[in-house]
Amino acid sequence: GIQVEQSPPDLILQEGANSTLRCNFSDSVNNLQWFHQNPWGQLINLFYIPSGTKQNGRLSATTVATERYSLLYISSSQTTDSGVYFCAVGAQGGSEKLVFGKGMKLTVNP
Amino acid sequence: GAGVSQSPSNKVTEKGKDVELRCDPISGHTALYWYRQSLGQGLEFLIYFQGNSAPDKSGLPSDRFSAERTGGSVSTLTIQRTQQEDSAVYLCASSSRDGANTGELFFGEGSRLTVL
Question: E-assigned strands of chain A?
Answer: 4-7, 10-14, 19-25, 29-37, 43-48, 52-56, 59-64, 69-74, 83-91, 99-100, 104-109
CA-to-CA distance for A51 and A34, rounded, in angstroms? Answer: 12
List the single range of A68-82, B38-52, B74-88, B95-109 with lowest mean pLDDT: B95-109
Chain B residues with beta carbon closer than 8 angstroms to that of A38: none
Domain spans of chain B, in order of start: 5-115
Q: Give the model's confidence band at B102: pLDDT under 50 very low, under 70 low, under 90 confident, else very high.
A: low
Average of per-residue pLDDT across B100-114: 87
The residue of chain B with its CA nearest to that of A99 is B45
Picking from A41, A5, A46, the residue whose alpha carbon sits closest to that of residue B91 is: A41
CA-to-CA distance for A58 and A77, rounded, in angstroms? Answer: 8
Contact B26, B88 (CB under 8 A): no
CA-to-CA distance for B101 and B111, rounded, in angstroms? Answer: 27
CA-to-CA distance for B111 and B9, rounded, in angstroms? Answer: 4
Chain A residues with beta carbon closer than 8 angstroms to that of B31: 96
Query: CA dihedral in degrees (B77, B81, B83, B85; nearest 10)?
Result: -30
DSSP B50-86: ETTEEEE-TT--STTEEEEE-TTS-EEEEE-S--GGG
CA-to-CA distance for A50 and B3, rounded, in angstroms? Answer: 24
Residue B40: is its pLDDT beyond 90? Answer: no
Matching CATH number, B5-115, of 2.60.40.10, 3.30.930.10, 3.40.50.12160, 2.40.50.320: 2.60.40.10
Q: Give the model's confidence band at B98: pLDDT under 50 very low, under 70 low, under 90 confident, else very high.
A: low
Q: Which domains does chain A have, with CATH numbers?
A: 4-109 (2.60.40.10)
Residue burial B79-103, b: 16+ Cβ < 10 Å; e: rest = beebeeebbbbbbbbbbeeeeeebb
Q: pLDDT for A46-102, tens place per residue?
A: 999 999 999 999 999 999 999 999 999 999 999 999 999 999 999 888 777 899 999
Q: What share of chain B is helix, strand, coil (3-state, %, to 5)?
A: 5, 55, 45
Chain B residues with beta carbon closer than 8 angstroms to that of A86: 42-43
pLDDT at B101: 56
Q: pLDDT for A46-61, tens place per residue?
A: 999 999 999 999 999 9
**B101 vs A90: CB contact, 8 Å cut-off?**
yes
Average of per-residue pLDDT across A20-33: 95
CA-to-CA distance for B114 and B116, rounded, in angstroms? Answer: 6
Q: pLDDT for A30-48, tens place per residue?
A: 899 999 999 889 999 999 9
Mutate to test the interface with A, among B44, B57, B101 (most CBs of A within 10 A): B101
Distance from CA of B41 to the nearest CA of A (A): 7
Is the model more confident about B28 or about B78?
A: B78
Q: Give the model's confidence band at B1: pLDDT under 50 very low, under 70 low, under 90 confident, else very high.
A: low
CA-to-CA distance for A29 and A37, rounded, in angstroms? Answer: 23
**B105 vs A33: CB contact, 8 Å cut-off?**
yes
Q: Give the model's confidence band at B55: pLDDT under 50 very low, under 70 low, under 90 confident, else very high.
A: confident
Distance from CA of B39 to the nearest CA of A (A): 11
